[in-house]
Copies of this chain bind each other. A is one copy, B any other.
Amino acid sequence: MSVPAGQHTVRRHNLALVLGEVAGPEPLSRAAVAARTGLTRGTVSSLVEELIAAGLVTELAAARGGPGRPASPLRLDPRGPAGLGLEVGVDTVGACVVDLTGAVRAQRTVVSDHRDDDPDAALARLTALADDLVAETGLPIAGATVALPGVVGPAGVLERAPNLPRWVDVAVGDALSTRLHGLPVRAGNEADLAALAERWAGGPSDAVVVSGGIGVGAGILLDGALFAGGGGRAGEIGHVVVEPDGQACHCGGRGCLETVAGLEALAAGRPEAVGAAGRALGIALTGAVHLLDVPAVVLGGSYPGCGPPLLDAVRAELTARVFSRAGVEVRFSTLGPEAALRGAATAVVQGVLADPGALIVRA
């Protein structure tokens, strides 16, 4: 069948509109979707059939209420195309499957130290893990996003990861796509994906979300969206200077936040390591708050494991140093150290919900 381009565009837009209503908190009948979108019932039925055929929408048992044909409430199909989240950490690989409804269906992270390792070996381990996990869930996979611990360029290339000296200009997205039988794979910075996960889990719309690990990064949320900065690589808070004459950093600089508040410094076990990390975080965040004018900070990754002493030290520093009258709200993430992995998988699902037509066309 050949129809004008304009009709394709309108149909694609309407598919997203209908799926968006179905994704809402309450199950809706076709009639209710028609009422909410302003589309005719005939159009809605045709679009719903297409979404059902693509495995995106399912009908619950019909509820017989008033007279006439019973209304079948529509829901996102938990057996439909799921999102695969992948992560290359400094010393781990992880995978996660999130279904269309946002539920985590499988998740696993295994130790795999990449500091002296060759990217190929790491990507082979990651692919094997992903294949296992996908097979366990038995779900079709719509696509994947991989979270990376460094600077990711616009084409999904890991340009540089200060803690992984052998990973320079590695086209991780393309390499994984090949290994995963042509599945579309996007790449993103792990802190950015963790920040999106915070947001999707109901977190603040304007915040610096710090991801603490061997490396320290941040995803910056402004008005609910990720702030890319001038060149798409914003948020490298780990290399904000907190001790001008401090320790040498893997990045080539000196006294970066990461040298005091990264996991290696924390694990070195000096008696006051947590206090020092909190103070350094507070100093770096003072700069971030003054430059970006954000009212909230979320500390994620490994930081929640440090407990109240870390939070207290960060808060004390910000209270003493930030001159914004409203103050800065600081809290721990509740998503755990796998926030980036979950954000990566959810990013795929969000992409399907935003444009189901792209998936249908590809199928």
> Is A286 among interface residues, defined by CB-CB distance under 8 A?
yes
User: So how many copies of this chain end up in the complex?
Assistant: 2
Taken together as a complex, chains A and B put the C-alpha atoms of A323 and B170 apart, in Å, by 17
- Chain A interface secondary structure, helix, strand, loop or mixed? loop
Set of chain B residues within 8 Å of A308, measured between Cβ atoms: none
Taken together as a complex, chains A and B put the C-alpha atoms of A223 and B230 apart, in Å, by 7
Known: A320-B254, A321-B254. A286 touches B234 (CB 8 A): no
Q: Is B220 a contact of A206 with CB atoms below 8 Å?
A: no
Taken together as a complex, chains A and B put the C-alpha atoms of A325 and B241 apart, in Å, by 18
Q: Is A252 a contact of B323 with CB atoms below 8 Å?
A: yes
Q: Is B230 a contact of A295 with CB atoms below 8 Å?
A: yes
Q: Is A234 a contact of B325 with CB atoms below 8 Å?
A: no
Taken together as a complex, chains A and B put the C-alpha atoms of A323 and B248 apart, in Å, by 13
Bits for A289-330, please: 1 = Cβ < 8 Å to B, else 0.
011111100000000000000000000000011111100000
Q: Is A291 a contact of B292 with CB atoms below 8 Å?
A: yes
Taken together as a complex, chains A and B put the C-alpha atoms of A243 and B244 apart, in Å, by 7
Q: Is B286 a contact of A241 with CB atoms below 8 Å?
A: yes
Residue among A233, A241, A283, A324 with the highest chain B CB neighbour number at 10 A = A241
> Is A232 among interface residues, defined by CB-CB distance under 8 A?
yes
> Is A240 among interface residues, defined by CB-CB distance under 8 A?
yes
Whole-angstrom distance between the Cβ of A150 and the nearest chain B Cβ: 10
A231 touches which of B206, B283, B321 (Cβ 8 Å)? B206
> Is A239 among interface residues, defined by CB-CB distance under 8 A?
yes
Whole-angstrom distance between the Cβ of A340 and the nearest chain B Cβ: 19
> Is A74 among interface residues, defined by CB-CB distance under 8 A?
no
Q: Is B240 a contact of A290 with CB atoms below 8 Å?
A: yes
Residue among A220, A244, A279 with the highest chain B CB neighbour number at 10 A = A244
A323 touches which of B239, B321, B323 (Cβ 8 Å)? B239
> Is A103 among interface residues, defined by CB-CB distance under 8 A?
no
Q: Is A325 a contact of B160 with CB atoms below 8 Å?
A: yes
Q: Which 4 A-B pairs have the closest CB atoms?
A: A229-B293, A206-B230, A240-B287, A236-B290
Given A162-B323, A229-B293, 9 additional A-B pairs, CB 8 A: A220-B291, A236-B290, A236-B291, A237-B291, A239-B290, A239-B322, A240-B290, A253-B323, A291-B292
